[in-house]
Structure 1
Amino acid sequence: MTANSADTSSSIFRLSPLIRITLLGLYVALTTPLPFLSQVTAAPVPPVLLWVGIIIGFIGLYAALSERVIVDDQGIQLTYPQWVPRFFRKGWSLPWSQVKELKPRTTGQGGIVYYFLTHEGKAYLLPMRVVGFARLVKFVQQKTQVDTTDVYPLAQPWMYLILLFMTLLLLLVDGWTITTALAQGNIN
C-alpha cells in the first residue's frame, strides 16, 4: 500500500511539521545545557556520556515522530520508515471491513482521542497529529460509513505555535546558560 501503487485512491498522511519541529526543538532546549552544566559543576556524570545520551534520545524521538498513515481502498495503516527498528515502533494495519466504530475516549488532560474498534474488540488509535487530518477523517467516513462529524484533532495548531514560541524563548535562555557556564569554566 504505497502512494505509487496501481491504486490511485491511496494517500499518505505524515506528522505535522509544526508538531515535529516543536517537539524536537523542545527536546534540544531541555537537554543541550546539561553537558555544559555537568562540566562546570564537576558532576559525577561526564559530559561525553550526556552527549551520547542526548544524541540517542534525539534519534529515538525523531523515529517516534516519523510515523506515516497510509490509507487506500483496502484499509488504513500506521507505518514507520525502514530504519526504525520494529521493536521500537511497530505500527499497525487495519482493513476497512474490520472497522466497527470510532470510539471517543477522554485523555488525562481532558482532550478526546478516538479509537477504531474492530468486530473482534481490538482498538487502534486514530492518528490525530497528521497534516490533512480533515481529509483523513473524510476518507475514514467514506470507507467505513462511520459518522465522523464530531471528530476533531486533539490539539489545534495555535497550541503548538505557543509551545514553539516558548521553546524559542527557552533556547535563548539556554544560550545565556551555556555562555555563562563556559565563562565560569574558563575562570576556574
Structure 2
Amino acid sequence: MPATFNLSPLIRITLLSLYLSLTLPIPFLAAVTQAPVPPNLLWAGLGLGGLFLYGALSEKVYLDETGITVTYPTWFRWLTRKGWSLPWEKIDQLKMRTTGQGGLVYYFVTPERDRAYLLPMRVAGFGKMVGLIESQTNLDTRDVRPLSQPWMYMILLGFTLLLLLVDGWAIATALTWA
C-alpha cells in the first residue's frame, strides 16, 4: 500500500469507441441533408461531449494507509464530479444493492449512516483492490464481484467496431453526395 487503480482500459476504449461510432457520422449527414444546425456547431458539440466522456472515464482510485479516495482529473473536478475520500475507520459496512438492470453494486456505509459511497467496480485490478479494502477494514468481501464481466465489454467492443465500419460507409456515401 499505497495503490492506485485506474478504470479498466477495456471499458475506457469500448465506451470511447461507442461514443465515436454513434456520433461521428452526424456532422457529415447534417451537411448532406442541409440540416438547420451547422456541421461546425455539431463538431464543436461532439468534441465537447467526447471531452466530458473522457474526463468521466479518467476516474482513479487511491488506497493508502489512511483510506480510499476516488478522484478525477483536476479540470474535470472543477467542472463536474468532485470525487470523494473516506478514512478506513469510518467504514462501518459494505451494503449490496441491486441495480435497475439486475446487477449488484456495493456501497460503503459510515456509522452515522448519513451517506453511502459507491465502491468503484470498473477498475483494472478489481480483485486486488477489494483484497486491500478487506485487509484495511476487516469487511467480508468474498461475494463482491465486478459489476460487469470483461466478456460483456468485449462483445460490445466487437459490435462497436462493426458500427464503425458502417459509419465509414455512411461517411463515404455522404462525401460523394456533398
| Cα drift, residue 86 of structure 1 | 2.8
1:70 and 2:76 correspond: no
After TM superposition, the structure 1 = structure 2 runs for residues 48-63 of structure 1, keeping only pairs within 5 Å, are 48-63=40-55
1:17 and 2:16 correspond: no
- Give the letter aligned to residue 125 of structure 1: L
Q: Which of 129, 136, 139 is matched with 1:136 structurally?
A: 129
Contact 2:77-2:83 at 8 Å conserved across structures: no
Q: Identify unmatched segments of 5+ residues in structure 1.
A: 1-8
After TM superposition, the structure 1 = structure 2 runs for residues 1-188 of structure 1, keeping only pairs within 5 Å, are 9-121=1-113, 122-185=115-178
Runs of 4+ in 1 over 3 A off after TM superposition: none
Change in Cα spacing, 1:51 to 1:65, as seen in structure 2 (3 Å) is same
CA RMSD of superposed structures (Å): 0.7
- Give the letter aligned to residue 110 of structure 2: T
The percent identity for this pair of structures is 61
Aligned residues, how many?
A: 177
Larger % of helix: which?
Answer: 2
| Cα drift, residue 64 of structure 1 | 0.3
Using the size of structure 2 for normalisation, the TM-score is: 0.98
For residues 57 and 94 of structure 1, the distance between their equivalents in structure 2, rounded to whole angstroms, comes to 30
Using the size of structure 1 for normalisation, the TM-score is: 0.93
